Amino acid sequence: MTKNESQLTRLCAWTVAVYFVLFGIGWGVLGRMIPPYPASMPAADLAQIFRDNASTLRIGFAVAAFSTTFFYLWSVGLFRVMVRTERGGKILSYTVLIGGVLTGNDLMFSCFIWLTAAFRPEQDPALIQLLYDLGWLMLDLAFGVAMLYMIAFGVIVLRDAREKPLFPKWLAWIGIWAAMEFLAELIMPFFRSGPFSWSGLFNYWVPFFVPATWMVIVSVYMHKAATRLNEEYESGLPQHVEHTTIG
């Protein structure tokens, strides 16, 4: 990895901080999504909240939708490190790239849907509820795109045969586990309250906050990896070495 690419990759690793700050403030605080309103809330109550807080909700979801820009940048940076980590064809690296980009996209579109609800809060409460439902169902049930990059990342890291791997193996396993946990979202549409609803333990707290923490740790190692890859390049080590024979 040349010096320039290494610097840009480290910059991409930092964008995760920008993303989380903007998304946290926009979606979480102003958008009132930590925790979200339960699916069991009556339409009239939900509409009242949208009417009372229309301005903050609008700015919140608009900022949150914009914040995904930095999610895309982060995905590109991770992709470049994956390319240097993956042995053989780069199929899994590209899976990381499209998985990351589509996850950002899913987050962005859900924010647009909630923004639409906040845009004309005076309308029929049933419509506000419909949009609120749609946003949540879309965000949660598109978990497959996040699985793509989390599992592909895991497999690449586990197959990294470097003497000292670029990413720790436990981080790969945490990602794979968190991706599997997303499958609990499959039963989310059956519940309007309780631990499996969109505001519950297993379909909100675990699948949102575990992967978020995982992403931050991945970024720290991504930053370190970019430095190491540049050192490998400077010291004249061949770039895609098959370090040891496996199996």
Partner 1 sequence: MGKVTQLANTETSANHRDPQDMSLPGDVGFWTFITADASLFALLFFQFSHDRSSQPAVFDEGQRDLIVLLGTVNTLVLVTSSWLMASAVRNMYRHSVRMGLRLIAGTAALGVVFAALKISEYVLTLRSGHTVSTSPFFMYYFVITGIHLAHLILGVVVLIIVGWRLRAGIRGPLDRTFLECGAAYWHLVDLLWMFIFPMLYLAR
Residues contributing to the site for partner 1 (CB under 8 A): 158, 163, 165, 168-174, 176-178, 180-181, 183-184, 187, 190-191, 194-196, 201-202, 206, 244, 246-247
Output the smallest distance, CB 89 to partner 1, in A: 20
Q: What is the DSSP annotation of 185-212?
A: GGGGGG-SSSTTSTTSIIIIIHHHHHHH
Three-class secondary structure of residue 121 per DSSP: coil
| Beta carbon nearer to partner 1, 37 or 202 | 202
Output the smallest distance, CB 215 to partner 1, in A: 16
| Beta carbon nearer to partner 1, 14 or 202 | 202
In contact, 188 and 196? CB cutoff 8 Å: yes
DSSP conformation class of 160:
-
Output the smallest distance, CB 192 to partner 1, in A: 10
CA–CA separation, 19 and 178 (whole Å) = 20
- In the numeric block, the tokens 């333990």 are attached to 201
**What sign does the dihedral 61-137-188-38 (CA atoms) show?**
positive
| Beta carbon nearer to partner 1, 54 or 217 | 217
Q: Please report, for the chain, how many H helices and E strands are present, in that order.
A: 8, 0
Q: How many CB atoms lie within 10 A of CB 38?
A: 16
Output the smallest distance, CB 28 to partner 1, in A: 22
| Beta carbon nearer to partner 1, 35 or 168 | 168
| Beta carbon nearer to partner 1, 181 or 232 | 181
Output the smallest distance, CB 247 to partner 1, in A: 5
In contact, 126 and 117? CB cutoff 8 Å: no
